[in-house]
Amino acid sequence: MSSPPSASASSSPPPCPKKMITLRSSDGATFEIEETAALQSKTLENMIHENCASTLIPVPNITGEVLARVVEFCSKHAEAGVDDESLGAWDEEFVAVDHTTLFDYIRAANFLEIPTLLDLGCQTVADMIKGKTPDEIKKTFKITTACTPEEEEEVRGENQWAFE
Amino acid sequence: MHMEISRCFPWLSRHRRKQDGFKTLPDDVVMDVLSRLEVDQLGHAKRVCRSWRALIGTAHFTRVHLQRASSVPVISPMFFDRKVGDRGFLFFPNWSSQVKKPIRGAKSPGFRYITTMCIWDLLGCCDGLLIFSAILPFSIYEIQNPVTQEEIVWEQDGSICGFFLQSLPNKYRLLSYRETPNGFLYHTGGLWPAAWKNVGMFPYRPREQETPSGVEGRLHWMVVGKEGMSTPCSHSIMVFSTRESKFCFMPHPGDSCPSSDGHSNMHLVEMKGRVYVYAIRDKLMLIWVLEDYASWHWVKKCDIDLERDFNQHPASESVTSYSDYKGMQLIDSQDGELLLFWPHRGFFRYNLRSRTITQVMLGLSRYGMMSRVVVAEFKSSLVSLKDLQ
């Protein structure tokens, strides 16, 4: 079936413009994010619904550097399908960063309530802890508040657990 | 706030990079991370620093950790010639390797008490707490958590058939029954204090040496009547709702059984959070899964042609009739494979797609021939027996 030739350029309706939200980081940088991507964050979702007039949302707890990456994460996850296999590989690359940055992501995901990013970040850290001795864990994460020798003994005594 | 400071003093931001990242996270996020660790790793985590140790020790952490934990079947073997005083043990199948390690902490229950006088049976498991019973010389029960190595032994009348967490209030409860001239009287109650509540009188009781299948707050058993008589097919499965403390009796899936057989060769099993029924009919193992509880809708998962598929294996050389398949038990399923137990012959993995079997060697032959196994779903948990109060 052939469609009749369109007489004018506006014969088909224009595509709906995607609503963009602007986020402002703690250091004043601004980032645009599609509303659908912003909805990955429960915090932003609430703000959007309360603040329907304005499209500029300040995010005081997060620096521009981190916020840029978080926006990237949300956008990627919003456009990908649920069973997008390549998303797993993309996520793995996303968290292949130094520890400080990884914790920045986790804090950002916690503040903005992004369950997918929080889950990814926490699991990555947990995977780093697995298989390490207490000393190795302390060294990896630079944990300095160690237990006193008495506390160590107490914990050692408690720890005759079955699965070794 | 320290972001602005680090902009003014760049050397500070380098210092920040040397700091403990965990200090910057709120407690509930640290808890999220730690709850993803296995119990043996938590032993290490407790020794890292005071705050981790404090977090892991909380009841809230135990719950969060438990919710994430995956269950594995724990197997209690019953040997052909069981002797009083036998040091029983438990083990769980490790699909990734051939070697099945015994659970080291789960020692013969009550070994500090009167072991030499008792034969212990595994009754079930809830939230990583195992419950055992000993019948001789009197009814003794034990609950233990093999991870924390806590155990408690007590004596009580009646037969305990269920152990569950009642959500309101958040307390562990026991379900037991007593035989009376009019039927079986059921009670629920706790350990301390032992305040028992009557929950009904019914003509049926759970079959012996079979653990309940517990899913979504409901326990399921195959039942028998007085003196072990077979029940009608319409009342062959007993379901107890732990939320409402109510029973109901339901029909098993599949055709009604010919009256002579009864459904004695039909069994319930809980695998990966779902309830299954399997039955040995002649040379077939039929398997159903409970798809929807509300409508009691069962779906047939598969029929295994035992004669055809096990024929190739040397273990079937001794098979003389279909009754040799009768005691086969379904234990676990994973990645398209089933773990089966065949009395006196051992454990086998059955691949559903290729229909091939592999024998699993356990190194337990020195204990003698296993006549059957009792299985329960187990999760490694930190639940303390103090929570039983």
Interface contact A163-B105, CB threshold 8 A: yes
Rounded Cα distance between A150 and B50, Å, is 12
Closest residue in B to A121 (Cα) is: B33
CA nearest to B186, candidates B223, B213, B151: B223
Do the beta carbons of residue A44 and residue A21 sit within 8 Å?
yes
Asked if the Cβ–Cβ distance from B47 to A142 is below 8 Å, we say no
What is the band of B115 on the pLDDT scale with cuts at 50, 70, 90? very low
User: How many whole angstroms separate alpha carbon B298 and alpha carbon B278?
Assistant: 12
Average the pLDDT over B145-163 and give the result.
88
Per-residue confidence (pLDDT) for residue B92, from 0 to 100: 73
Q: Where are the domains of chain B?
A: 2-66, 69-388
Q: How far apart are the first and last CA of chain A?
A: 71
Q: What is the pLDDT of residue B140?
A: 87
Q: Is B370 exposed, middle or buried (0-12, 13-18, 19+ CB in 10 A)?
A: buried
At residue B173, what are phi and psi to the nearest 5 degrees? -130, 155
Q: Do B104 and A164 touch (CB under 8 A)?
A: yes
Four-CA torsion A86, A92, A97, A101, nearest 10 degrees: 90
| pLDDT level of residue A16 (50, 70, 90 thresholds) | low
Look at B266-275, B300-309, B359-368 and tell me which has the smallest mean pLDDT.
B359-368
Question: Least CA distance to A99: which residue of chain B?
Answer: B21
**A97 vs B: CB within 8 A:** no
Distance between CA atoms of B233 and A129, rounded to whole angstroms?
Answer: 52
pLDDT of residue B387: 77
Closest residue by Cα to residue B100 from B366, B362, B365: B362
Contact B349, B337 (CB under 8 A): yes
Which residue of chain A has the CA closest to B31? A122
Rounded to whole angstroms, the Cα distance separating B389 from A74 reads 46
Work out the minimum CA distance from A33 to partner chain B, whole angstroms. Answer: 23
Task: Tell me the nearest-neighbour CA distance from A9 into chain B, angstroms.
Answer: 52
Whether A49 contacts chain B with CB within 8 A: no
Check if the beta carbon of residue B219 is closer than 8 Å to that of residue B164: yes
CB atoms < 10 A from the CB of B183, how many? 16
CB atoms within 10 A of CB A104: 22
Chain A, window 64-83: residues with a beta carbon less than 8 angstroms from a chain B beta carbon:
none
Q: Is the pLDDT of residue B10 over 50?
A: no
Which residue in chain B is spatially nearest to A28 when comparing CA positions? B4
Record: contact B32-A134, CB cut-off 8 A: no
Contact B20 A144 (CB under 8 A): yes
In this prediction, residue B84 has a pLDDT band, given cuts at 50, 70 and 90, of low
Which has the minimum average pLDDT: A71-85, B212-226, B228-242? A71-85
Residue B231 is which amino acid? T
Q: Establish if A111 touches chain B: CB-CB under 8 angstroms.
A: no
A114 at B interface, C-beta within 8 A: no
Of B140, B112, B142, B118, the closest CA to residue B130 belongs to B142
Band (B310; pLDDT cuts 50, 70, 90):
confident
Of how many residues is chain A composed? 164
Q: For residue A63, which residues of chain B lie inside 8 Å, CB to CB?
A: 3
Write the DSSP symbol of residue B8.
H
A157 and chain B: CB distance < 8 Å anywhere? no
Q: What are phi and psi of A102, to 5 degrees?
A: -60, -45
Average pLDDT over residues B63-89: 77
Hey, is B365 helix, strand or coil?
helix
pLDDT beyond 50 at B109: no
Residue B171 pLDDT exceeds 50: yes
Closest CA–CA distance from residue A2 to any residue of chain B (Å): 49
A132: chain B residues, CB-CB within 8 Å:
44
> For residue B147, which residues of chain A lie inside 8 Å, CB to CB?
161-163
Q: Tell me whether residues A142 and B38 touch, CB distance under 8 A.
A: no
Residue from B33, B101, B384 to probe the interface with A (highest A Cβ count within 10 Å) = B33
- Any idea of the CA torsion for B62, B64, B68, B71, to the nearest 10 degrees? 40
The dihedral through the CA atoms of B218, B149, B375, B68 has a sign that is positive
d(CA A45, CA A20): 13
Cα(A162)–Cα(B150) distance, integer angstroms = 11
Residue with tokens 């940055």: A101
Residues in chain B: 389
Q: Beta strands B120-126 and B246-250: pairing type? A: unpaired
3-state helix, strand, coil in chain A (%, to 5): 50, 10, 40
Cβ atoms B154, B140 nearer than 8 A: yes
Helix (H, G, I), strand (E, B) or coil at B310: helix
Q: Report pTM.
A: 0.81
- Asked if A110 reaches chain B (Cβ–Cβ under 8 Å), the answer is yes
At A37-70, the pLDDT tens digits run 989 999 888 888 887 656 788 888 899 999 999 9
CB–CB contacts below 8 A, A to B: 113
Contacts of B51 in chain A (CB under 8 A): 145
Residues of chain B with C-beta less than 8 angstroms from the C-beta of A143: 20, 22, 48-49
Question: Which residue of A lies nearest to B50 if distances are taken between CA atoms?
Answer: A147
Strand pairing of B183-189 and B129-134?
Answer: unpaired
Contact B320, B349 (CB under 8 A): no
Quote the tokens at residue B137.
């010389």
Residues 134-153 of chain A with CB under 8 A from chain B are 134, 137-138, 141-147, 151-152
For domain B69-388, give the CATH superfamily. Answer: Kelch-type beta propeller (2.120.10.80)
Closest Cα in chain B to A107 = B25
**Confidence grade of residue B54 (pLDDT, cut at 50, 70, 90):** very high
**Token couple for B99:** 């070697």
| Model pLDDT, residue B101 | 46
Distance from CA of B31 to the nearest CA of A (A): 10
Is the pLDDT at A155 greater than 60? The verdict is: yes
Q: d(Cα B214, Cα B125) in Å, to the nearest integer?
A: 9
ipTM over 0.85: no
**Angstroms from A5 CA to nearest CA on chain B:** 54
Strand, helix or coil for residue B382: coil
Residues A84, A131, A93, CA angle at the centre, nearest 5°? 30
In chain A, what residues touch B54 (CB-CB under 8 Å)?
A: none
- Nearest-angstrom CA–CA distance, B47 and B54: 10
For an interface test with B, the pick among A103, A144, A163 (most B C-beta atoms closer than 10 Å) comes out as: A163
Cα(B67)–Cα(B128) distance, integer angstroms: 11
